[in-house]
Structure 1
Amino acid sequence: MDERAAIELIERARAETARLAASLARQRDGIVEASEFTSNDDEHDPEGVTIAFERAQVQALLRQAQDDLVNLDRAAERVRAGVWETCERCGGPIAEERLAALPATRICIACAKKVR
């Protein structure tokens, strides 16, 4: 894949991930805002546990989306450096299909299959 196509692929993935992160942030903010207007005690209220779980779940998904954005930025840097298609572990090539599916990946499928 040429540099331009790789950057476009990464930019599309980044835009999609940024939209997801914004949506999750709004959802998290809505949960927090809604819980501020109740006097629920998470420890003693049966619904409180559900709210706490939902808030934690959305926060974890948001954190993952934010990490994905960082990794996509790093992938763009790897493209510009000419090493995007090179596995960081073994130095071999990363298949174009793998990069198309996972633009932020830094390792080939063989290394991904190995147990660390």
Structure 2
Amino acid sequence: MTLKAQDTIQIRDSLTAPFLAQADRNLIIQGNQSINILAFNHPKVALQSGGNLNLISNGNISGDAHFVIGGDITVSTNNGDISLNGSLDSSVNSYSTTRNGDRRYHSFHK
């Protein structure tokens, strides 16, 4: 499954309205300007991938959500810089993320 925006991917939930993105295989989230995920209010898992989770953006990538990932987590930018705020890195290591694979951070150039 791919979620793609020319500008910003912004994901939100609330106590009464969960955000759910569930892929049997890989889940790719690409926001060319940024990715901003804040989906930690509802107890259901917001982002679930049976395979890898790929976050791709030219700008900032931030996330605070329940993640379940069957494979690797890859964070990529194509501007030469990895721009992560503490919340994504912290959530990868916390109870909010269940994963079976590795974490990878990449820069790539067109």
Q: TM-score range by the shorter chain?
A: under 0.3
Q: Which has the higher helix share?
A: 1
Q: Which has the higher strand share?
A: 2
Which is higher, the Rg of structure 1 or of structure 2? 1
TM-score (norm 2): 0.20
TM-score (norm 1): 0.19
